[in-house]
Amino acid sequence: MPALKVVIASTHLGERFINDLRADFPGVAFAPAYSPADAAREARDADVFFGWPDKRTFETARKLQWIACPGAGVDRIVAIEEIVNSTVLLTNAPGPHVAPMADYTLGVMLALAHRLPQSVKEQEKREWNTARYERKIVELAGKTIGLYGLGAIGRAIAKRAAGFDMTLYAVDPHPAEVPANVKACWPMSGLDQMCQIADWIIITAPLTVETRRSMDRRRLALMKRDAYVIVVSRGGVVDQPALVDALKEGRLAGAALDATEPEPLDAASPLWDMPNVIITPHVSALSPEMYEGRRRIFRENVRRFIVGDELLHLCDKRAGF
């Protein structure tokens, strides 16, 4: 019998990846388990769980040592108190998602600034109406970005924004580094000030107890009437009903949401029909390069786990990232 059992409870990295892992680590038993019932059954004697275990699955896992989150955000996992209070290690896979998410952010900013969603709809109807756009195009140069979260995604956005001659500020309680073109990085107490001065608020913060709905009705009301909100990390950071009201009442110029609360976004949400809102189904990171990067991380961590080396990207379960 193999000395180590790894449950693969997500097809996030592709079903063929299991065959690649079996070839790389012939002494390890890799058990696919894609339904909740299969995951709970296979987890009983597993050492490693790759995926997002629910409470029932975790409670059945008698010898579990490590949970490998396939993605970057671990909020669904640390929402389970029993996991947080356990000695089970938790890793995530940050890094590979950074470039495509930063690209997405600048893409939707340009799309909103140049009213491209409206242009596409008019193209489909073969409409040509230049007057409709007069004095309604927004230039990015000279505008201010407020980055709510200065982790790897925030820094990548700052790097790209440098080419657009924009001014940048950030809020992050524990920034690893502050890019030279970010004029100031404040703790959470600076969020109000950033809301007041930014033309674009970009949500790149993880979802934690501190950040949940922290972009609330009061803070949205502090923003300029011609400002935009871009959500790329977690929808729960923003009070979504308050955002809907602000957009309905013309107190914000627009928004782009790749992350919503809940997901999928309720079909009855008014956000779907707003002409100044771009909605994408949590896809900003899904490039082939991102998936390959996450495969490399998990493969390397399996190797480290086998030989007893420290795992890459260990998370602080109580901090939530």
Q: Which residues are catalytic?
A: 234, 263, 282
Kindly give, in sequence order, each residue whose CB lies less than 8 Å from that of residue 75, ignoring residues fewer than 6 positions away. Answer: 206, 207, 208, 234, 236, 320
Neighbours of 102 (CB within 10 A): 25
Residues 147 and 123 sit within 8 Å (Cβ to Cβ): no
Residues 197, 166: Cα–Cα separation, whole Å: 13
Residues 68, 70: Cα–Cα separation, whole Å: 6
Q: Count Cβ neighbours within 10 Å for each residue of 142-173 and write b for 16 or more, e otherwise.
A: ebbbbbbbbbbbbbbbbebbeebebbbbbbbb
Residue 256 bridge partners (DSSP): 230, 278
Lookup: tokens for 281: 């189904």
From 212, 241, 232, select the one nearest 280 (Cα to Cα): 232
C-alpha triplet 18, 70, 13: angle, nearest 5°? 40
Residues 195, 146: Cα–Cα separation, whole Å: 7
